[in-house]
Chains A and B, each alone.
Chain A
């Protein structure tokens, strides 16, 4: 059963009047980052989205998350057109986006708090999700007193409190060191296998994309469309050892082959990539 459907999504950013950039030899003040993206995501599926900088991965996530409007085309959740943040979805950001003045527990409570859930109930739920991520005992720490990995655990815990059907993750582990990243990937899989929600996970890491996904969606260089979808038929549950198998290496190679040309194209696009930030 299909959960998320995107049909012919396009997104064009308009620069401020007077500002121009050079795109393909032509001066313009409009940058197209998505150029008719079609994608269907099944219920309970773990999708990873890879592609060179500027291919519109994050923009796609923002459109699905209802945080920005597509220039044309539309995204649907369970057949309903998405026009604003949907309570069935939750968003996890690369930079954690925790409220620095709230403790870990209060941060996790936030999503339920703004939905009007009673204090006792949201507190209990927040504790549950913190302990799920091994953060029992850290409830009263402020974000500034937690490591990056712990902060991202808090942020993911916060996103799960509302029992989302779709979890949107925008390079959530990109700011972490390699070891922490490995650990969090496994933790995420462990918890996802229990919860069974749909995940759309944007990443720059091909290794991460293959390790997590049911399907890897490879995007073209800007303006982005889906270039190829690679099925990852590795067995679950997966642990980090699976990376050493020939099957994993082969899949990683396939994804890299799909992306190689696009990354080279994107290299010529540096000025634009920085102008549009992703």
Chain B
């Protein structure tokens, strides 16, 4: 599985676009049609959720009907509780992720560009990369305490390797012809980074960021379940302990929605970062 993650999804397509110049037909309106086509099943799922506890197929104490969950959700939103918990979770994830970006991109550039540096660092990076951030949570708590620092540390750790690996792949895959052309025009080393290697690597970095953001969010939730007094993970875990199962499901649904929105936001970002690729046969 780890091997799969090393190859960003955009790698092969990035080359196809530039090399072959062939317009890749990406059927437009596909997201809408999958949404429409998938709607009946989603509605059926929701209906089952509503009916099953009401007909006694499931215990409503552990599995309340969807309507009660939504009512609980509205209450949590109205009281500001949900906003507070989501806010703190997102803040932790964003801080950890931001830190990961700040570390991974310069490091990735160095590792991708300077072979001796990569040779010296690769083994350590691979070792750390294959150490689960969840396994390290107790370590972070021991070293950094139960407060914000340990949460930020785990989100950082979760995201940094996705970004790092993709940055390295991006930097390494720069078309040698573009480097040669840039050199023939007298490009300085600094401009080579800024104007050639970095723009080339952006689609790779953004693909890594998509994976990294998800990993950050998941990690912060897990960390909050294990050791926190705030955040959406804490809310879910605490509701379960208090047997407020409607609140628990409300928290889970919220998390799902946040995850979906983040994903769409990142897909949009990815499209923007690669807007210069031919999206269809028709030039704009």
Closest partner residue, chain A, to B282 (CB atom): A145
Most buried by A among B17, B184, B188, B284: B184
Bitwise, B217-261 to A at CB < 8 A (1) or not (0) is 000000000000000000000000000000000000000000000
On chain B, the residues within 8 Å of A93 by CB distance are 177, 180-181
Report whether B191 and A97 are in contact in the complex, using a CB–CB cutoff of 8 Å: no
On chain B, the residues within 8 Å of A66 by CB distance are 184
Tell me if A99 is interfacial: C-beta within 8 Å of chain B.
Answer: yes
Tell me if A148 is interfacial: C-beta within 8 Å of chain B.
Answer: yes
Report whether A144 and B17 are in contact in the complex, using a CB–CB cutoff of 8 Å: yes
Bitwise, A97-108 to B at CB < 8 A (1) or not (0) is 101111100000
Tell me if B54 is interfacial: C-beta within 8 Å of chain A.
Answer: no
Tell me if A115 is interfacial: C-beta within 8 Å of chain B.
Answer: yes
The secondary-structure label for the interface of chain B is helix
Report whether A142 and B276 are in contact in the complex, using a CB–CB cutoff of 8 Å: yes
Tell me if A200 is interfacial: C-beta within 8 Å of chain B.
Answer: no
A110, A114, A145, A151: which contacts B283 (Cβ < 8 A)?
Answer: A145
On chain B, the residues within 8 Å of A100 by CB distance are 17-18, 276-277
On chain A, the residues within 8 Å of B202 by CB distance are 101
Report whether B277 and A114 are in contact in the complex, using a CB–CB cutoff of 8 Å: no
Report whether A97 and B178 are in contact in the complex, using a CB–CB cutoff of 8 Å: yes
Instruction: Check A141/B21 contact, CB under 8 A, given A91-B184, A97-B177, A99-B178.
Output: no
Report whether A145 and B278 are in contact in the complex, using a CB–CB cutoff of 8 Å: yes
Cα A85 to Cα B187 with chains together (Å): 10
Bitwise, B141-185 to A at CB < 8 A (1) or not (0) is 000000000000000000000000000000000000110111111
Closest partner residue, chain A, to B187 (CB atom): A114
Tell me if B199 is interfacial: C-beta within 8 Å of chain A.
Answer: yes
On chain B, the residues within 8 Å of A195 by CB distance are none
Instruction: Check A144/B276 contact, CB under 8 A, given A85-B186, A110-B195, A114-B191.
Output: yes
Report whether A114 and B184 are in contact in the complex, using a CB–CB cutoff of 8 Å: no
Tell me if A224 is interfacial: C-beta within 8 Å of chain B.
Answer: no
Tell me if A65 is interfacial: C-beta within 8 Å of chain B.
Answer: yes
On chain A, the residues within 8 Å of B199 by CB distance are 99, 101
Report whether A85 and B278 are in contact in the complex, using a CB–CB cutoff of 8 Å: no
Q: A216 to nearest B CB, angstroms?
A: 24
Instruction: Check A142/B181 contact, CB under 8 A, given A87-B186, A148-B21.
Output: no
Tell me if A90 is interfacial: C-beta within 8 Å of chain B.
Answer: yes
A67, A87, A99, A144: which contacts B277 (Cβ < 8 A)?
Answer: A144
Tell me if A111 is interfacial: C-beta within 8 Å of chain B.
Answer: yes
Cα A110 to Cα B186 with chains together (Å): 11
Instruction: Check A114/B21 contact, CB under 8 A, given A144-B277, A145-B284.
Output: no
Closest partner residue, chain A, to B185 (CB atom): A111
A-B contact sample (7 more), CB < 8 A, given A90-B184, A91-B181, A151-B21 = A91-B185, A101-B199, A101-B202, A114-B186, A143-B18, A143-B21, A144-B277
B residues sitting closer than 8 Å to A (CB atoms) are 17-18, 21, 23, 177-178, 180-188, 191, 195-196, 199-200, 202, 276-278, 283-284
A-B contact pairs, 22 of them (CB 8 A): A66-B184, A67-B180, A67-B184, A85-B183, A85-B185, A89-B184, A91-B181, A93-B177, A95-B177, A97-B180, A99-B199, A100-B276, A101-B202, A110-B185, A110-B195, A111-B186, A114-B185, A114-B186, A115-B186, A144-B21, A145-B278, A151-B21
